[in-house]
Every structure is written in structure tokens, then in C-alpha cells.
Structure 1
Amino acid sequence: MASAIFTKKFREEATCSICLKLMTEPVSIDCGHSYCRICILGLSGNRSSETSSPGTFHCPQCQKSFKRDSLRPNKQLENIIETIKDTEHERLCEKHGEQLHLFCEDDGQFICLCCERSPQHKGHVTALVEYACQHYREQLWKAVRKLSVTRMKYIQLRKDTTLKITSWKEKINHEKERIHSEFKSLHTFLNQEEELYMCRLKKEKEQKLSKLQDILAHLDDKLQELENHIQELDKKSQSSAQNLLQDIKDTLSRKSAIYVETPEDVSLEMHTVCNVPALYLNVRRVLKHYQDNVTLDPKTAHPDLCLSDNRRTVAYKGSILMYQNPGGFSVLSCILGRECFTSGRHYFEVDVQVGVEWGVGVCLENVPRDIDIVREPQSGFWAIRLRKDKSCLVLTSPQISLPLRDQPQIVGIILDCEAGLVSFYNATSHSHLYTFPTASFSHALRPYFEVYPFSSLSLISSNK
């Protein structure tokens, strides 16, 4: 009851005396009375001619003067009006006509005081709407916080998935480039193989055609000779008896002694045979055509390295030399091949089975050998390296990790000086490992080998 009285009193204070409704955008004037903004502006506009002083108006309630530009918003009253509106919008109990000030926790519904005392809600847990609202507001906040955490997890998952998509696209693009590079190299090899076999086939064709054409010319000569004999005998047979019988026996004996000379049998079997599918299936066989018998250069060896007598095997033995080669590596445990490559295509194979860590490739002949230089193409190195943890790295900046299906036992290195390509193959499984991006070599290139403790490398001889 008291609440209704207070609500009524607040409504009377918040009612505009001009429009007799709850004020809209309430403003106060100098005397302290408040009105709807639109109402007081409309009233002052209509009475502007009645005022003794231009721009001065009178309050409808107390007749005190005010100026139009002195109107100021009454935010406090505006908030009270909003509260009154919210209160008036509250529902009343359909059964008792009372305001629903309570909330029944058991039934989850608003009830009035009469409802609380009724048998329907006897023994139920009830609370004032304000308290129940605060309690459930806190529960909602907790739920919001919990959902916000879940939302952040989903945002992170989405971010991770986006990164995976980007990474996957980059991986696919890298694989496309690798496949393109590998097929480009294979196409080059196959084109050269085609030219080689075509050259051989052309040579074989010319050799046999020459023999057959010689036989054909000889047969033409024999046919002409026979034609001459036939004409001679035919002419003699038609001559007079004296001419016919003259030396007849000698003529018949001489002409009848002509026999057919069988020419040399030239076989049409081709000796130049190219099994194209086999070339596709055996890349190593193709590469073998370019294989060089690479040997090691002891003058470039680090003091901890030991070479075999045939200069094809190098092992890490620790400090066994008492002196440092003037042109050798003094910091990196490396050694170079004796051969220098400036043009053409070159292939060599390295047995890497012995040991747990190694590096192979090519490098510029003039790379520094007395400092700890970073091995990468910008420094003149094109190499790959196996680490102790069995991971294989491409020595670039940054380094690239190579996924290995099988750890290579023999690594093949192909260098194409004109094309500017350096490629690596697992010669055991005939699979491509990596091809460096196209480069322009400024100096001669030499085979390059890194040897680490408990490891050795062996060069495989060509069968050419």
C-alpha cells in the first residue's frame, strides 16, 4: 500500500503541468519548476509577443520570469520518470490483483504476498524479486564468464585452424615447387637421353644405309653388265651364219659362266634400343650418365680428418695431424673434392651409412676456410645435413627440415651449372630429396663434405 502511495506521489511530481502527462525530456527553468522540453518551448513561442522584454517568459505555475536559453535538462527527474514507467509496467497477480513482489524458487514464477500464504506455494522457497534478481544476475554473470572462456577457446581454435590452413597451403605450394623442379630436372635428363638415343639411332641408320646402298649400286652394275651380254647374244643370234658361227663356242662358254653373286646379308635388327619406361622408373640410371669419379683433396682437409689411400673415404679421427694445411679448413671439420665444375652436368654419390652426423653438397671453390662460416647459398654453400637426432636439414636461411620416409644410405648430388640447379636424391630408394632454387654460380664449384665424430663418408666410383 505504501509503495502505491509513493508511486502516485512520484507520478504527480513527474507530470508536466502543461500537457498533464509524464514529462518527456524534462527541463528545469530558473524558478525550479520542470516541464517537457517541447511543451515549455511551445508555450514560450506562443507567448513571445506578450512579454514586455524580448526573450523573457513567465513560468506557467509561479509566473516568475525566465529566459529561453536558461533551460537545462533535468537528468535526475528523467531517471525517476523511467523508474515510474518500469514500475507501472509491472504485472499484477491475476488471482489476487496484488503486485508480484516475490519469486517462487520451486515453481520459477512471480507471486504476490497472498500467493505465498496459499496452499499452492506452502513450504516453497521464496525471495523478494530484487534479491532473486540479484542472485540470478550473478548466476548469469558466471555463465557469461564461463561462456566467454569457451568463446576464447573457440577463437583460439579458429586462429589455430586458420594458421593450419595457411601452413597447409604453404606446404602444398612448396610441394608443387618441389615436384615441378624434380620433373624439370627429369625432363632435362630425358631430353638428353632422347638426343643421345636419337644420335645413336641416326648413326646406326647411316651405317646400314651406306652398306645397303653400296650393295644396291653393285647390283645395278651387275644388271647393266647382264643387259649388255643379253644384247650382244641377241644381236649375234640375228646375224649371218658366218658371223654367228665365228667363235660361237668361246662366246657361249664365256657368257654361260656368269653366275649370280649373292650380296652380303645386312641384318635389319636394331642395336639401338631405348626402354623409355625403364628410364622413368629408374632415375639413378639416368643420373649415372653424368656421374664423375670424384676424389677427395687432402690439401683442403681439416686436421681432424683422415683419408684413405684411394682418396675416396674420409673419417673423423681427432687431431692426428701435427700441422695445418695452408689451404685447408681450420674451423669446420670439412673437406672438398679435387674436381672443379664450371659447366655441364655432374653427378656423384656418397655412401653415408657409417656415422650419425654428416653434411654433403657443393660449394664455391673460394669459400673461406679459416672461419666458422654459416653454410647457406648466400655464403656459397648448397648442402644438406643429417643431425644426431636423425633429422635432415637443408642448409638455408632459415634452415628447412626435410621429411624422410627412409633415411638415405647413399646420397646422390646432381649439379647443372648452366641451369643453376643443385639437387639431392636418395639413391637407394630412387627418390628426390630437395632441389635448391635456381642460382647463378659466380665461381667454380667443388664437392663439399662435412665429417663429424664417429662418422665417415665414402665416394662411390662410377662404372663408366
Structure 2
Amino acid sequence: MAAVAAAAAAAAASSTRRSLKEDLTCAICCDLFREPVMLSCMHHFCKSCISRYCRGARTPVTCPQCRREFSPMQFQTNYLVAAMVEKVRASTSDAYVKKLENQLRETLERQHVRKEDISSSIRKDKDKMNTIKRVGTDLQARVKGEFRALHRILQDEETCLLEQLRREQEEELQKAQCHLEASELAVRELESNIQLLQQAQVTLTEFPQLRPCAQVEAASDFNTNAFSNKYLAPLQYITWRRMFKSLKPGPSPLTFDVDTAHPSIYVSRDKMIAVECEVITPHKSHSKRFLQCVNILAAQSFQSGRHYWEVEVGCSPKWDLGVASEAVNRHARIKLSPESGYWTLRLRNGNEYWAGTQPWTRLQLGSPLQRIGVYLDCDERRVSFYDADEMSLLYTFCSGPRGKVFPFFSPCISDSRHKPQLIRLLHYPPVALSN
């Protein structure tokens, strides 16, 4: 369609040029006017052409076109037509035509290129929109699935607790019903004996044979508090604590691996606290130990599935933490980067937070971090860091590790201005609270 329209426009322009050229052509020499003059009849001719015509013509002299008489000495030069002729002559020269063709071709090519660029941008925008819709749909399905699992856990807890309440209520009702029936039976037996005794009082013949009366013990009082206390407890908190055993991933209960600790790191007896100290700790020699950098690994490793753990960093002015590949060099000083097998977050100078990329990526945070959450998705190869107090995302490595990895920590070397700070592993054990 565009080609047809362009061809039609070119044909129309060519026709217009031909018509204009014909209007500016001398009827005597059949060429473009040269020094055009206008006769009294308004017809135009070249000055030289009309002069020759007048010299050879008989008197009276008439216009070569309309045969109207005119005075040979009354030529009027038409400067407007002369200017138009020069423009037409210039526009019809070979050099001009070639230049114009080049300009048109270059402009047309630029328009085609621009059109293709915009068309490419349109395709990218459409592809982006389709990607956003597809990713959004997948994420919606995942979010719904995660919350369906939580709803199912809560529903199961609710069903279990209501069933327990129903059974205990039924048991108490059954006890009361049995005592009620026994008491009513005893009353009926006593009423029968009373009737026999009353009849004997009237006749005074013999002592009546009384029916044996069942012994009914006094019913214990229903202890409302004992029955209700477990159901008046903080059910939401108890359920929240119980949910930990069903969360996927649930918080991983990490411990430090003493065999990997640099000699400057002291590890607590329960292996949940690590701190850098000036006194060298007499660790036994081990091939897994870090010797050049003040690092330590967790005893637990992961190579599949999803895992989450939290670390308390307190007020320490500097630290590193994240995950490390099993094969990292533990005997040399190496930059912490994914290329070296480390995916980490770090703090320097008390307020400068960085993601351990190459080059480092500065993170702008509103407040200091006290607890860090680390989320490892081995299957998707993603390592994410969270402010564990608000569960706000800090940074994500999208090209994470392959194979076995260990949670990684470094309290760094403290200076004389700051007291060494603890790195503490936080545990949320799936404790089944007693009822």
C-alpha cells in the first residue's frame, strides 16, 4: 500500500513539473524562456525570439499565439516569470536531479530505519507486556499456593482443636449423663420402698421386703476453669509456634562448624555464637579450616530445595555473611565474589552496606540492620537477603551457586576503637507446645 501511494505521489509530482515546464516554454523556440517578455495580450516569449519574429513579420505585427496586434517596441520584461524559469531550469538539470535523487533516497532510507527501530521497540514492548503477564500469572499462582498451604495448616490446626474440644465435651457430658441416670434409678427404687413402707404402716402385719437401693456417689463439681483453660490460651501464638514444623522452607537450625573457624574466631559451647578475638584459639589442625581470612562456615550444607535462616549481627561495624561453595580456597586470601564461590552481603564502616558483586553494589538502607535473613533456593539458583525485622528484600543474586554450599560468616577483624561483636545464629525450633 505504501509503495503504491509513493508511486502515485511521484507520478503526480512528475505531471505537475511537466505542466509547469510547458507553461514556461516559449512558443517560438519551444524551449524554456530566456529573458521572458510579456506582450500586451499577456502571452510570453523569449526577448530574442519575439524580436526576430517582429523583424521578419509584416506590419501590423500580431501575436504568434492569439494574432492580436501589438507594438514591437512595447515589450515588457516579466521578472517573476524569469525567476520561475531559472528555478525550473535549475531543477531539471542533471546535477540537480541526481542530488535530489540522492537526498530523497537517503531520507527514505532514514525513514525506513527509523520505522524499523520504532517497530522493533513496539515488538519489544509487546514482548515485555506478555512477559510481565506471564511472570505475573506464575507469581500469582505461587503466592496462592503458598497461602493455600498456610490456610491448610491453620485449617488442620482448627479442625484438630475443635475435635479435641468436642471429644472432651462429650466425655464430660457422658459422665454427667451416667451419674444422672444412676441417681434417677436410685430415686425410683427409693420411691418404691417408701410406698411399701407406707402400706405396711396402715396394715401393721409384717415388715415389707424392700428393694436394694443402688449406692450413688456424690457427683464431683464441673471444673469450668480446668475445662476451659486450654481453649482460652493464646491460641494464635501457640498455633504460630506449631506452624514452624510445617513451613516449607522453615527456619533452618544452623550451628557453627568449629573445624572451619579461623584461629581468631571463638565459638560458643552451643555452637551458635561466633566472635573474633585477639587471642588465638587453639583449634586443632584441620583441612577445612580458614587460615588467612577470619571466616567460618555452618556445619549444615545444602544442595537442593529451599532453605532460610536468620543471623543476628547486633551493632558490629563490619561483617560478611551469605553462602559459600564447598570448594572455596580456605588457605588463601580471596575476594568475596560469585566468581570465587561466595554470594554475600557485607557491612563496612558501620553504615555502608554492600552486595558482594564485582564491582560491589552499594545498598541504600533506611536504618541499620540488626538481624539478617538469608534465603537460598538451590533449584532456582537464587540467594536473597532480607531485613529479618521487617522481611524487606535487601538484594538477590539471580545466578547463584551450583552443587553443595554452606552458610558463610565472617565477623571480620576488629580494631581498637570497637569492641568485638557477636554473630549469633537464631533458632526457631518447631517445639510442640504442651496443652
The TM-score normalised by the length of structure 2 is 0.54
Using a 3 Å threshold, how does the CA distance of structure 1 residues 312 and 143 change in structure 2: closer, same or farther? Answer: farther
Equivalent residues in 2 for 1:315-464 (5 A)? 325-329=286-290, 334-338=295-299, 348-351=309-312, 354=316, 358-360=320-322, 367-370=326-329, 385=345, 392=355, 409-413=370-374, 426-431=387-392, 447-449=407-409, 457-462=423-428
Using a 3 Å threshold, how does the CA distance of structure 1 residues 154 and 288 change in structure 2: closer, same or farther? Answer: closer
Using a 3 Å threshold, how does the CA distance of structure 1 residues 212 and 146 change in structure 2: closer, same or farther? Answer: same
Is contact 1:337-1:448 (8 Å) kept? yes
Alignment pair present for 1:156 and 2:114: no
Deviates more, 1:128-137 or 1:309-318: 309-318
Residue ranges of structure 1 left out of the alignment (5+ in a row)? 1-87, 105-110, 396-400
Determine the C-alpha separation between the residues in 2 that align with 1:422 and 1:206.
47
Using a 3 Å threshold, how does the CA distance of structure 1 residues 272 and 169 change in structure 2: closer, same or farther? Answer: farther
Is contact 1:101-1:112 (8 Å) kept? no
Is contact 1:305-1:314 (8 Å) kept? yes
TM-superposed deviation, 1:229: 0.9
Pairing partner for 2:23 from 89, 93, 96: 93
Pairing partner for 1:229 from 169, 190, 199: 190
Deviations 1:185-231 (A, max 9, x none): 44334433433343344334433432332222222211211121112
Pairing partner for 2:222 from 258, 261, 264: 264
Determine the C-alpha separation between the residues in 2 that align with 1:409 and 1:157.
49
Q: Which amino acid in structure 2 is aligned with residue 459 of structure 1?
A: L
Equivalent residues in 2 for 1:19-58 (5 A)? none
Per the alignment, residue 118 of structure 1 pairs with 77
Using a 3 Å threshold, how does the CA distance of structure 1 residues 273 and 451 change in structure 2: closer, same or farther? Answer: closer
Per the alignment, residue 198 of structure 1 pairs with 159
SS at match of 2:296: strand
Per the alignment, residue 294 of structure 1 pairs with 254
Question: Which structure's CA Rg is the greater one?
Answer: 1
Q: Which amino acid in structure 2 is aligned with residue 326 of structure 1?
A: S
Using a 3 Å threshold, how does the CA distance of structure 1 residues 301 and 369 change in structure 2: closer, same or farther? Answer: farther
- RMSD between aligned alpha carbons? 6.1
TM-superposed deviation, 1:348: 3.2
Deviations 1:359-402 (A, max 9, x none): 42597xxx3354789998xx9x9x66469885658x9xxxxx99
Per the alignment, residue 52 of structure 1 pairs with none
Using a 3 Å threshold, how does the CA distance of structure 1 residues 138 and 342 change in structure 2: closer, same or farther? Answer: closer
Is contact 2:25-2:31 (8 Å) kept? no
Equivalent residues in 2 for 1:210-249 (5 A)? 210-239=171-200, 241-242=202-203, 246=207
Identity %, equivalent residues: 14
Determine the C-alpha separation between the residues in 1 that align with 2:320 and 2:181.
71
Deviations 1:426-451 (A, max 9, x none): 422235779999xxx998x8644466
Deviations 1:39-65 (A, max 9, x none): xxxxxxxxxxxxxxxxxxxxxxxxxxx
Using a 3 Å threshold, how does the CA distance of structure 1 residues 91 and 149 change in structure 2: closer, same or farther? Answer: closer
Determine the C-alpha separation between the residues in 2 that align with 1:235 and 1:262.
32
Q: Which amino acid in structure 2 is aligned with residue 214 of structure 1?
A: K
SS at match of 2:106: helix
Is contact 2:337-2:344 (8 Å) kept? no
Q: Which amino acid in structure 2 is aligned with residue 349 of structure 1?
A: E
Determine the C-alpha separation between the residues in 1 that align with 2:108 and 2:335.
54
Deviates more, 1:331-340 or 1:201-210: 331-340
TM-superposed deviation, 1:340: 6.9
